[in-house]
Amino acid sequence: MIRENWVKQRLAAGEPAIGSWITIAHPTVGEVMAQAGFDWLAIDMEHGVVGVESVQTLCQAMSGTPTVPLVRVPWNDQVIIKQVLETGVQGMVIPQVRTAEEARAAIAAAKYPPAGIRGIGCQRPAGFGAWFHEYLQKSNDNLVIIVQIEHVQAVENLHEILAVKGIDAILIGANDLSASMGLLGQPTHPEVVKVIEKIHAAACAAGVPPGIIAASPDDANKRIAQGYKFIGIGLDVGFLSTACRDICGKIQWNGGDTTSS
């Protein structure tokens, strides 16, 4: 039977959904992070070294947990979207959406007719045929679709994008946004922060749940208080790197420096 998408339900109810990102294409990573208690985990095909087969394996690893598996596709491409949906992900993050037309194209690629143009298959989300007809009837309403606002062109077209039917939330990409503003590597620059606040206000006014990447649990709590609903914290390699560097930094040794006498 189809697994209900409770992240979509939470967003529709105005409740926050907290998640993180997977960039390591190994099922143990997905299983460990899903068991930690995140509402959602987004498998990152845009920046992670993750292929379609690994997306399915990661979804399988999460299937015994309440965590909702999402995927950030590498690009807003209908062929890629069609393929990843057959792995069993329950939603998508679409990067670099800059116009209403691009947002509509992403939604159309993810939905079956008459709402979209998705081709009909019989793979994992349909139980390989076991609940094929149920999946056809419920898939359109069960998928959560997040579009990323991360370019000045998207900001210029923001109100038109927010008016597109079928967007469940937006996700502000501060790093790419700052780069498009000529402020590469400065996502906390006052001018970038001003634009982020503008995006947030417009999304709230349009009734579209705003999302953002938080720097820490404390920052996530701050963002929740500000009204953000789709909030990501960290990623697998970041957690691993931070923990390893913290351990090595606290041990009194030469850190592998073979030049020491």
Say how far apart CA 250 and CA 66 lie, in whole Å. Answer: 35
Helix (H) or strand (E) holding 234: strand 230-235
Q: For residue 103, what are the contacts with CB-CB under 8 A and spacing of at least 6? A: 94, 97, 147, 161, 164, 167
Helix (H) or strand (E) holding 43: strand 40-44
Radius of gyration of the chain (CA): 19
Tokens found for residue 200: 């947030």
47 has catalytic annotation: yes
Say how far apart CA 174 and CA 147 lie, in whole Å. Answer: 14
Residue 109 near residue 101, CB atoms below 8 Å: no
Give me the catalytic one of 47, 151, 189, 200: 47
- Residues taking part in catalysis: 47
